[in-house]
Amino acid sequence: MSLEERLDERAKSCEIFSNPIRSLIALTIHHIKDASWAEIKNNIEKIIGPLNPNTLSFHLTRLIESKLVKKIGTAEQPRYISTDKNDEEIRVKLGSELIVILQERLDN
């Protein structure tokens, strides 16, 4: 991979976490490991309150396109899992303290 390609990839991965809701969705999927759309939405709403379904769908799509989240299951019952890339990017870019805070908030 060339320098330019690496720089472009890094810029895209930084951009993906530039939105706080998208970061929270990535963190939530990282925490749950294997979640339905409803589980993701319910957990996010525990933290920020009501979330427009279109907003969740938009950000999930962005996370899938960036290969941080993978959509599995059937078309009727999709599930979302955190990829190794997502787990690594969360630790590097968002930090382990956010993981701990989120775990505490979701587990209560």
Q: Per-residue pLDDT tens for 47-86? A: 899 999 999 999 999 999 999 999 999 989 999 999 998 8
User: What's the chain's average pLDDT?
Assistant: 87
User: Distance of CA 29 to CAs 6, 11, 21, 39, 47, Å?
Assistant: 26, 22, 12, 9, 14
Q: How many CB atoms lie within 10 A of CB 36?
A: 14
Residue 8, pLDDT > 90, answer: no
Residue 103, pLDDT > 90, answer: no
CATH ID of 3-107, from 3.30.70.20, 1.10.1040.10, 1.10.10.10, 1.10.10.60: 1.10.10.10
**Token pair for 34:** 């294997």
CA atoms within 13 A on the CB side of 59: 24
Query: Pairing relation of β-strands 78-82 and 69-73?
Result: antiparallel
> Dihedral of CA 11/53/103/31: which sign?
negative
When pLDDT is averaged across residues 2-25 and rounded to a whole number, the result is 78
Q: What is the pTM of this model?
A: 0.82
Q: Percentage of the chain surpassing pLDDT 70? A: 94
Residue 65 near residue 16, CB atoms below 8 Å: no
